[in-house]
Amino acid sequence: MKTLKDMLAEARQVVPEEGPDDLSRRLKDREPIVVIDVRDPDEYRDGHIEGAASISRGFLEFRIGTAVSDPSVPIVLYCQTGLRSVLAAKALKELGYQTVINLKGGFQKWAQSGLPVVKDTPLTTEQIGRYSRHFLLNQIGETGQRKLLRSKVLLIGAGGLGSPTALYLAAAGVGTIGLMDGDVVDITNLQRQVLHTTADIGKPKVESGARTLKALNPDIAVIPLPVRIDVDNVMDIIKDYDLIVDGSDNFDTRYLVNDACYLAGKTNIHGSIFQFEGMATVFAPGEGPCYRCLYPTPPPPGLVPS
């Protein structure tokens, strides 16, 4: 009869192992890998690696097909100490998954190495109802929703572009929304800036904006920033956010936001509009061009109305 030791030794012959630092680097580099936590659901809830799917060992062969449809996609498995997962990895190899890696030392070693750990608090009944349509989407699900709830997004400008973006992000449950705008609501804004109402005329845009967003979704935090973004405050403000949405209405701000986001390594979701035409792109430092690659110099003053 085989002993557990024999089985582990056999598994290790076919399953490569990597330490926490290797996995951390792969995740940082956004390699197309799937990380699966094969521990029991209560262990997963108590703390896991961000982005890891939870499929406990007992269900692995049943559910792996849904989680990973392409057998050539590399899979990293982990459990608490790396033993259950090495056996699980061998089972996946036998199913035909080409690259299955075991996290050496498991979650325990990951956490001891000081790498980030995500803890799930149970969703409230209200949250389960509110985000139920997201749970039906494979690309979001409960894991994705938790990610959104943990996310912090800064909206620069609560005007024509910022308004609809803010409404959708708040509704979708982006947990923290920083709303930045130094202006007050003017009657001429109301025809397009749907965050604000007639009663808000004369009030700071971030005040009416925050109230509208909280009314739409009380589950999120809205941080009103009633100031204009400038060279002195930009770095300090953006550092607290995962991602920046530029909905500003002038070129100076766009170049400033572009430069600050690039220097701080923050992705900038860019949009602009004029009359009936709009454009959108994403500036991701290190992954693609920036605003200066696109428009090396601003248009001469007077050429475009502001």
Partner 1 sequence: MQATETMKVLLGVGEPLIGRLLTYDALGMRFREVKLRRDPKCPLCGTSPTIKDLSIHAAGGTACAISPNGDGEPATSGAVPAARPGG
Choose between 33 and 79: whose C-beta lies nearer to partner 1.
33
Beta carbon of residue 113, minimum distance to partner 1 (angstroms, whole number): 22
| Residues between 267 and 306 with contacts to partner 1, criterion CB under 8 A | 267, 269-285, 287-290, 292-299, 304-306
Is 169 a binder of partner 1 (CB under 8 A)? yes
| Residues between 179 and 238 with contacts to partner 1, criterion CB under 8 A | 230-231, 234-235
Of residues 41, 51, 129, 218, which one binds partner 1 by CB under 8 A? 51
Choose between 59 and 295: whose C-beta lies nearer to partner 1.
295
Total residues contacting partner 1 by CB under 8 A comes to 75
280 by DSSP, 3-state: which?
strand
Q: Are strands 277-283 and 267-274 parallel, antiparallel or unpaired?
A: antiparallel
| Residues between 118 and 157 with contacts to partner 1, criterion CB under 8 A | 139-140, 144, 147-148, 151, 153, 157
| Residues between 63 and 122 with contacts to partner 1, criterion CB under 8 A | none
65 by DSSP, 3-state: which?
helix
Beta carbon of residue 65, minimum distance to partner 1 (angstroms, whole number): 19
Beta carbon of residue 296, minimum distance to partner 1 (angstroms, whole number): 5
Backbone angles phi, psi at 284, to 5 degrees: -115, 110
DSSP state of 54: E
What is the C-alpha to C-alpha distance for residues 55 and 36, in angstroms, rounded to an integer?
Answer: 7
Beta carbon of residue 287, minimum distance to partner 1 (angstroms, whole number): 5
245 by DSSP, 3-state: which?
strand
Element (H or E) spanning 146, and its range?
Answer: helix 141-150
What is the C-alpha to C-alpha distance for residues 87 and 96, in angstroms, rounded to an integer?
Answer: 15
| Residues between 11 and 30 with contacts to partner 1, criterion CB under 8 A | 30
Choose between 2 and 30: whose C-beta lies nearer to partner 1.
30
DSSP state of 103: E
Is 258 a binder of partner 1 (CB under 8 A)? yes
Extended beta strands in 187-233, E state = 221-225
Return the amino acid letter for 178: G
Beta carbon of residue 72, minimum distance to partner 1 (angstroms, whole number): 19
Is 251 a binder of partner 1 (CB under 8 A)? yes
Asked if residue 87 lies in contact with residue 6, where contact means CB atoms within 8 angstroms, the answer is no
Of residues 20, 106, 162, 204, which one binds partner 1 by CB under 8 A? 162
Beta carbon of residue 214, minimum distance to partner 1 (angstroms, whole number): 17
Asked if residue 60 lies in contact with residue 88, where contact means CB atoms within 8 angstroms, the answer is yes
The count of other CB atoms within 10 Å of the CB of residue 28 is 8
